[in-house]
Amino acid sequence: MEKINLTINGQEIEATKGMTVLEAAQSADVYIPTLCHYPDLEPYGGCRLCIVEIENMRGLLTACTTPATEGMHVTTESPAINEVRRMTLELMLSTHPCDCLECHRRERCGPYDVCLRHVAVTDRCVVCPSNGTCELQKVVDYMVVRELRVSKDTKSVPVDISNPFFDIDRNRCILCARCVRACQEITGVGAIDMAYRGYAMKVATFGDTPLMDSICRSCGECMVRCPVGALTPKETFHPEREVKTICPYCGVGCQMYLGVKNEQVVCIRGDEEGPANHGRLCVKGRFGIAEFVNHPERLTTPLVRKNGQLEEASWEEALAAVAGKLGNYKGDEVAVISSAKSTNEDNYVMQKFVRAVLGTNNIDHCARL
Ligand code: SF4
Ligand code: SF4
Ligand code: SF4
Ligand code: SF4
């Protein structure tokens, strides 16, 4: 790929032709705050936090929408940039229901401390599912905002809990439109959009219905891209370890990580390195695995019917029982159903066994088994 050279904050860097200024900076580990940019979404320029100065170009430009070019001189920090960036952030915070963010005591407060600013605080970061992973917190910390020059004007609208897997709390939404763009660009569904204008603007479905009454497919691609605690899973877990695997549901073969805690699958994320899915998952892969894997009635050992009752058995015993009974039949007297939840290799061996050993073409599989 063709390379270009540019200067960011006086540092010469090499970038790939076609990168934006933001991508070029990120490739050189130069931090530029942003809340609407997401690597696999089209440049948007919505949050206006990534503004930079570029020599011989007028005004402050959004780094996420400006192509990097050969010989460019970029400045990411200056009094003028910081003033505009700070005001943009303060306006965003003025509608965000979390006084913790700009509180001077923030670093010293634990989850259950009594808040000295309010007697009964229910909208602190410590009660938000995104606490600790929230990108807004990171930007506020970077900008060291500890007081607002504009007055607070937060909303109090009901949380949409209609979806069985995740909630939309519009009170915490910063209108970055990542969810809308993910639904449009990644899934091609277009279940949500930015509706209304001005202060009334919000993420909404067609007709402003609850999400479950829309064409939403519950894939959660919007949820994983939300930078704050506005789109969050019904339950949030912090896994002890992750196990890389392939989704067992269909032949696409999406690669994923199972988050494991106390030997239970508690969450799932797509693997960005997965050649078939690049981190994306559908509703089955993202939300449909933990329940059956953790189910107390899940079979974890073969069962052999003895005197009309199914009893636990070893694999040797079970295989001997099947082999013994198969010997009583031949050819088309036998049919075998395999499963798409098995690996390609296992299914290949099964059809080979049925055709070559049992002597029949009665072999099928079902994606739902
Ligand atoms: S979205 Fe972020 S800033 Fe807002 S309450 Fe949650 S953790 Fe705090
Ligand atoms: S869950 Fe999927 S289909 Fe539904 S709104 Fe989000 S991205 Fe769109
Ligand atoms: S719900 Fe999340 S991703 Fe969607 S616009 Fe609001 S903050 Fe952005
Ligand atoms: S995540 Fe969905 S598309 Fe991907 S393999 Fe699983 S079922 Fe198929």
> What is the mean pLDDT of the segment spanning 157-164?
96
Give kind and range of the element (H or E) at residue 62. strand 61-62
Written as one string, the DSSP assignment of 256-274 is EEEEEETTEEEEEEE-TT-
* pLDDT exceeds cutoff 90 at 46: yes
Ligand nearest to the CA of 287: 4
Would you state the structure tokens that stand for residue 363, as one six-digit string? Answer: 């072999």
Q: Determine contact, residues 54/74, Cβ cutoff 8 Å.
A: yes
Q: Rounded CA gap, 109 and 118, in Å? A: 13
pLDDT digits (tens, 9 = 90+) for 9-27: 999 999 999 999 999 999 9
Q: Rounded CA gap, 294 and 325, in Å? A: 32
pLDDT digits (tens, 9 = 90+) for 55-90: 999 999 999 999 999 999 999 999 999 999 999 999
Query: b vs e for 317-356, b when ≥16 Cβ sit within 10 Å of the residue's Cβ?
Result: eeeeeeeeeeeeeeeeeeebebebbeeeeebeebeeebee
Q: Rounded CA gap, 233 and 124, in Å? A: 18
> What is the mean pLDDT of the segment spanning 180-198?
97
* pLDDT exceeds cutoff 60 at 120: no
**Taking phi first (over 0 means left), then psi (-120 to 50 degrees means alpha), and beta for anything else, what does residue 166 get?**
beta
Nearest atom in ligand 1 to 100's CA: 8
Neighbours of 15 (CB within 10 A): 23
Q: Is 189 in the pocket of ligand 4 (CB under 6 A)?
A: no
* CA 95 to mean position of chain CA atoms: 24
Comparing 35-44, 186-195, 322-331, the range with the smallest average pLDDT is 322-331
Q: Is 285 in the pocket of ligand 4 (CB under 6 A)?
A: yes
Distances (CA, A) of 84 to 6, 34, 52, 146, 308: 24, 14, 10, 16, 77
- CA end-to-end span of the chain: 45
Q: Are strands 363-366 and 336-339 parallel, antiparallel or unpaired?
A: parallel
> Any idea which residue has 């919505």 for tokens?
46
Ligand 2 center to 256 CA (angstroms): 19
Residue of 38, 31, 1 lying closest to 16 (CA atoms): 1
Ligand nearest to the CA of 280: 4
List of domains in the chain: 3-77 (3.10.20.740), 83-143 (no CATH), 166-233 (3.30.70.20), 241-294 (2.20.25.90), 309-366 (no CATH)
Grouping H, G, I as helix, E, B as strand and the rest as coil, residue 127 is helix
Q: Is 250 in the pocket of ligand 4 (CB under 6 A)?
A: yes
Ligand 1 center to 69 CA (angstroms): 36
* pLDDT exceeds cutoff 70 at 199: yes
**Looking at ligand 3, which residue's alpha carbon is closest to its atom 2?**
226
Q: Determine contact, residues 369/341, Cβ cutoff 8 Å.
A: yes
Q: Rounded CA gap, 179 and 203, in Å? A: 8
Nearest atom in ligand 4 to 286's CA: 1
Ligand 2 center to 246 CA (angstroms): 22
Q: What is the mean pLDDT of the chain?
A: 92
Question: Which residue from 168, 183, 223 has its CB within 8 A of the most atoms of ligand 2, so it is best to mutate?
Answer: 183
